[in-house]
Amino acid sequence: MRGSQDVGPLGTVAARVTEESFAEAMVAQGLTMVSFWAEGSRPSRALAPVLEEVARASAGRVGLVNVNVDESPGIAARYSVGALPTILFVKGGKVVDRVVGAAPKALLQTILKARA
């Protein structure tokens, strides 16, 4: 995937996608968590390390990409992202699940177990 490795909320490192690289991220093999966030969103910043931990614990079965809605508002609009954070779970290019808000780690793990 051609997203840059970039610092996201709270200094986490995940693939960061833009309008140009998002399509490629959507067809990645396996399950991908797409985190919609913004610099000024405290819930987004609180959830970022949880997402990183869950992705790392998957041992490569689950990818994680960040979409900064201030930099890529078109992507957020396309997926009707109205609240932050919003996490899309994408598999085979299709959204298979969605979580809005700072979800607990247990919920994210349950979704990954069911979808990965």
CATH number corresponding to 4-115 = 3.40.30.10
Work out the number of other CB atoms within 10 angstroms of the CB of residue 83: 10
**Contact in structure between 81 and 30 (CB atoms under 8 Å):** no
The per-residue pLDDT for range 3-52, each reduced to its tens digit, is: 444 434 434 447 888 888 888 877 777 899 999 999 999 999 999 999 99
Sequence ranges of the domains in the chain: 4-115
The per-residue pLDDT for range 34-48, each reduced to its tens digit, is: 999 999 999 999 999
- Whole-prediction pTM: 0.85
Tokens of 43: 């819930």
